[in-house]
Amino acid sequence: MIYTDNRLLSVGLVGGTCSRHYGNMRDISAQNNVYKALNIPPEKILHFHQTHSDTIISITSAQEAAQFAALPEQDADAWLFTAPGWGAAIQTADCVPLFLFDEHGHAFALAHCGWRGVVNRLPFKTACALKNTGRCGKIFGWLGPHIQVCCFEVQADVAAQFSPSSLHRKDGKIFVNLNLEILGQLKEAGVNPLDIKTPYYCTCGDEKNFFSWRRDHVRQNLLSFIYKP
């Protein structure tokens, strides 16, 4: 199935996160099958090389998107669009696919937020970039399936990089709640937390539906995509 937020469709966007049944998305032909099933032209979906950074690529026109598509893949971890006709994909296997979009569908973003990206404040920076386009009404957000607090145990050195309020301690172990950390950053960027949906789909805990690097240590990725016709 494709997990999604109904508000994407209501503002004219097509997007979501595919369950593992669609295949390993490191294989581009598996991605193309998804796009074709949804009437998305595969050549209108942009890709980058994910590096757990805080780099955002901004696409402001169809011409710019076409130029970008002709280049080798750039290093980056978030997309920001203010032009229709194009979209982008990211791949995850525990990291958070963060969807941010404005109430009119004029501006939309998709960020690959691993814990390093979250520590680098990529959610905050992506929300600020979206606001700074000047094309934004109210911002909605949706966090696709990722590793949840139930499974995201970390050591003290990683835990120290998060807000104490985003940590959960149990039986001498420390767990990170990425949802809380991301919600905090989005609120700081001026987004109303009530407009952010954080459904509890755990990639690590649900083997039937999701790939998980933490669980399997196999290079198999889920696809998240966003597109405006």
205 near Zn ion (CB under 5 A): yes
Q: Is the dihedral of CA 164, 170, 172, 174 positive or negative?
A: negative
DSSP string, 30-77: HHHHHHHHTT--GGGEE--B--S---EEEE-SHHHHHHHHHSPPPB-S
| Nearest distance, CB of residue 148 and Zn ion, angstroms | 5
Least Å distance between CB 204 and Zn ion?
A: 5
- Of residues 150 and 180, the one with the C-beta less far from Zn ion: 150
The smaller minimum CB distance to Zn ion, of residues 119 and 150, is found at 150
Cβ distance to Zn ion smaller for residue 18 or 204: 204
Should residue 202 be labelled a site residue for Zn ion when binding is judged by CB under 5 A? yes
Would you tell me how many other CB atoms lie within 10 Å of the CB of residue 156? Answer: 7
Stretch touching Zn ion by CB under 5 A, among 28-36, 60-68, 164-172, 194-202: 194-202
- Position closest to Zn ion via CB: 205
Pick the closer one to Zn ion by CB: 101 or 115: 115
Contact call for residues 102 and 150 (beta carbons, < 8 A): no
107 contacts Zn ion (rule: CB under 5 A): no
CB of 92 to Zn ion, least distance (A): 15
Tracing tokens 């001498």 back to the chain, one arrives at 172
Q: Which is nearer to Zn ion, 146 or 228 (CB)?
A: 146
Residue 186: both structure tokens together: 């989005």
Task: Please tell me whether residue 96 binds Zn ion under the rule CB under 5 A.
Answer: no
CB of 174 to Zn ion, least distance (A): 15
For residue 163, give the 3-state DSSP assignment.
Answer: coil
Q: What are phi and psi of 176, to 5 degrees?
A: -105, 135
Bridge partners for 154 per DSSP: 174
Kindly identify the residues of this chain, within the stretch 124-153, that bind Zn ion according to CB under 5 A: 148, 150-151
Q: Is 154 in the site for Zn ion (CB under 5 A)?
A: no
Distance of alpha carbon 103 from its chain centroid, rounded?
18
Under the rule (CB under 5 A), what is the footprint of Zn ion? Answer: 148, 150-151, 202, 204-205
